[in-house]
Structure 1
Amino acid sequence: MSPKHIIYKKISRDKSVGVYMGKRDFVDHCDFVDPVDGVVLIDPEQVKDKKVFVMLSCTFRYGREDMDVMGMAFRRDIFLCTRQVYPPLQDKERSIHTKVQEKILRKLGNNAHPFFFEFPDNLPCSVALQPAPTDVGKQCAVEFEVKAFCAENQDEKAQKRSSVRLAIRKIQYAPDKGGEPPAGETTCEFIMSDKPLHMRVSLEKETYYHGEKINISVEIDNSSNRNVKDVTVSVEQVTNVVLYSNDKYVKSVAYEETKDAVPSGTSLKKVYTLCPLLDNNRERRGLALDGKLKHDDTNLASSSIVKDEVLREILGMLVSYRVVVKCTASGMVGSSEVAVEVPFKLMHPKPGPESEDATDLVFEEFKRSYLKGVIGDDDESPAEP
């Protein structure tokens, strides 16, 4: 069988405009971001004397739109770029199109017009905070969208029946080469103790993939006169909402509480294993998740990789992970908590290169289902046969 390439297709209610895209995930490689390209098909009889525009937007949504208070919008446009595709001004004249664009243009005929956008290098990736099971409406999220609409000019408010919106994602994959295996340690000296307590925590590598088990090596050398007990090991997700209030959310996504003890004058060397998974945290409000499309399931948000020169304040939400090992050192004068934190990255592996040489195009249509809490004003799901 000849290879096939799925084309994502969505048509406006009045059939005036339709969007065709070869993919909906666009990768941030840190040194560049995949450009957003596609094709708009117009119906000249429906469009008549109007123009057709395509808009690429990145929006930070604080929460539900119907929660606007005293005129304060609970959303902020981080990036907006609009191009006129009909009558053609720009992309029709581009001498180079992608292979997929060329195939779509040949398939759709003369009423098809290409579009092309380049992401600036300072935009966040698609991410959302998990709502509670009782929450309704839109969740707090960074969302990306391609919108095509028919209007007299680009500033005119487009009618819903003459516009079409397709949610896309900006994502990052694990780098090809990871850094040195991370480690952390601490030395604690206590009152009335001649010798200290030393704890060291190390990981096998810097980057782990979603669903992969994390082996955590813990070494405790207790030369002090205190007894160490209740060793706990956890993986914490740290989400900084840097755009509007610099809120910080710290959520444990994997946890093990033990009765391991290290009496005075002894040592402990042990490997603990944890696996941070969304499946074990479905009911936890405020967890950062990778942005999702359609009804596809998602996962814990991937670690954010930010270029040094990019201003963090405009990146919406930044996500990081750390292993935290704690224990209690108890003595005659009270108890003290000893803790070591070790940062690491949690990401998806980079997939193999996509082939643009597929000979057959398979058009996957989408319908509006108006589901709540998903990217875009209306969710997209495959059309029923």
Structure 2
Amino acid sequence: MSSKNVVFKKISKDKSVGVYMGKRDFVDRVDSVDPVDGIILIDHEALQGRKVFVTLSCTFRYGRDDVDVIGIAFRRELYLSTRQVYPPLQDREKGIHSRTQARLMRKLGDNAYPFFFEFPDNLPCSVCLQPAPHDVGKQCAVEFEIKAFSAESQDAKVRKRSTVKLLIRKVQFAPESEGEAPSVETTRDFLMSDKPLHVKATLDKEIYYHGEPIKVHVSVTNNSSKNIKNIIVSVDQVSTVVLYSNDSYVKSVAIEEDSVSAGATLEKVYTLLPLLANNRERRGIALDGKLKHEDTNLASSSIIKEGVLKEVLGIMVSYRVMVKLIVGGSVPCNNLMFQVQRKSNKAALSGTQGADEGRGTNRGNESMINEPESGGRGSPYTGKQEVTGRSVRTGRKTKPP
């Protein structure tokens, strides 16, 4: 049985332009980033002599009602790049950069034109803050978008019917090398006790993958006369909106509790599993960028590249394990900082599937085309394809001449 490739397709309302892309997730490996490529399909009759442009944009949206101006949510464009697709400024064949583009060019025919973008080094990855169930409007997020439109010129007023937008994601893979396993310890003396309380906590490693259990090794030597009423071991997600506001959100995404009597010793491994499935109703949880009607996972840890200002990242995300002992007051153990990342292999991403969540459903005028892999020359499309369902297969084909 032949393997199948997924092609994402979206057409403007007036049918003048359409976008075809082989994927919507683009990987940032710290030292390199996947380029963005695809195909623009045009309809000369619907264009009526207009030009066709395609843009790649990165936008930060704060999403707060109290900073709206005349009903427009606060947003800032972090990056915008525009290419003229039609009339082409170079030979069509020179604009092909991938096998998917070449295959689609053969299938879609002479009205298909390739486009290609490269991400700058200083752009953040896709991330958003989860709104509460009752919240309305746009959420706080860093989003990437491909937009194709037809107009008289690049600066002319663009009709909504002649525009098509497709959200994409810039995701981050775990670096190949990691540092030492985090470890921290603290000793606390009490006024009416001759001997101290000693706490030590360690992790197995510095980097964990989404959906991977986190094992926290906790050692408590309670030589004091105090009873430890409660031990709280939690995984905290710290999200900081560094652009303009510098707001921070600290959310416990996994927690365990225990107790130790006076004069006792505790050696225990606590296993915590931070998952979005357990935090879906909580406002302010940071998520990896979410595509329309697609599921996602908890946000990956932010990595600041050398020479890049953190303010450009929009939203910074980090994770920590906190061990807190409740005696009379609380005795916090210092934080264990670690990273949560995606696996750096091809299996970690399949289309738009999240790392620990299943595939969602595309609706509206977006569609997924399940296209069989072909070793030879592909057959051309016949006629126009109307997008009405959740996902469609390629239309009827004719034999190649």
Q: TM-score, normalised by structure 1?
A: 0.87
Q: Secondary structure at the match of 2:282?
A: coil
Q: 2:75 and 2:340 mapped to 1: Cα distance?
A: 28
Partner of 1:372: none
Partner of 1:374: none
* C-alpha contact (below 8 Å) 1:262/1:268 kept by paired residues: no
Alignment of 1:293-332 (within 5 A): 293-330=291-328
Alignment of 1:1-385 (within 5 A): 1-63=1-63, 68-70=68-70, 73-90=73-90, 92=92, 94=94, 97-191=97-191, 193-258=193-258, 260-264=259-263, 266-330=264-328, 335-352=329-346, 358-359=373-374, 382=391
CA 1:268–1:294: 2 relative to 1, 3 Å: same
Compute the displacement of 1:81 (Å). Answer: 0.5
CA 1:67–1:188: 2 relative to 1, 3 Å: closer
Compute the displacement of 1:120 (Å). Answer: 0.5
Q: Secondary structure at the match of 2:92?
A: helix
* C-alpha contact (below 8 Å) 2:95/2:114 kept by paired residues: no
Compute the displacement of 1:311 (Å). Answer: 0.8
Compute the displacement of 1:194 (Å). Answer: 4.5
Compute the displacement of 1:86 (Å). Answer: 0.6
Q: 1:97 and 1:212 mapped to 2: Cα distance?
A: 36
Q: Secondary structure at the match of 1:94?
A: helix
* C-alpha contact (below 8 Å) 2:95/2:116 kept by paired residues: no
Structure 2's unaligned 5+ residue stretches are: 351-370, 396-401
Percent of aligned pairs sharing the same letter: 60
Compute the displacement of 1:178 (Å). Answer: 3.0
* C-alpha contact (below 8 Å) 1:4/1:359 kept by paired residues: no
Q: Which moved more, 1:86-95 or 1:129-138?
A: 86-95
Q: Secondary structure at the match of 2:174?
A: coil
Compute the displacement of 1:193 (Å). Answer: 4.5
Q: Which moved more, 1:111-120 or 1:45-54?
A: 45-54
Q: CA offsets, 1:262-318, max 9 Å, x none?
A: 414x32211111111111111111101111223221111111122132110010111
CA 1:200–1:366: 2 relative to 1, 3 Å: farther
Q: 1:324 and 1:366 mapped to 2: Cα distance?
A: 53
Compute the displacement of 1:352 (Å). Answer: 2.3
Q: Secondary structure at the match of 1:340?
A: coil
* C-alpha contact (below 8 Å) 1:61/1:76 kept by paired residues: yes
Q: Secondary structure at the match of 2:334?
A: strand
Structure 1's unaligned 5+ residue stretches are: 370-380
Q: Which moved more, 1:69-78 or 1:153-162?
A: 69-78
How many residue pairs match? The answer is: 367
User: 1:339 is aligned with what amino acid?
Assistant: C
Q: Secondary structure at the match of 2:119?
A: coil
* C-alpha contact (below 8 Å) 1:214/1:274 kept by paired residues: yes
Partner of 2:360: none
Compute the displacement of 1:176 (Å). Answer: 2.8
User: 2:86 is aligned with what amino acid?
Assistant: Y
* C-alpha contact (below 8 Å) 1:366/1:383 kept by paired residues: no
* C-alpha contact (below 8 Å) 1:182/1:202 kept by paired residues: yes
Compute the displacement of 1:49 (Å). Answer: 2.1
Compute the displacement of 1:324 (Å). Answer: 0.6
Q: CA offsets, 1:108-166, max 9 Å, x none?
A: 11211111100011111111111111112221111111000000111223111111111
* C-alpha contact (below 8 Å) 2:223/2:262 kept by paired residues: no
Q: 1:97 and 1:267 mapped to 2: Cα distance?
A: 62
Q: 1:357 and 1:283 mapped to 2: Cα distance?
A: 39
Q: TM-score, normalised by structure 2?
A: 0.84
CA 1:162–1:184: 2 relative to 1, 3 Å: same
CA 1:64–1:367: 2 relative to 1, 3 Å: farther
CA 1:348–1:368: 2 relative to 1, 3 Å: farther
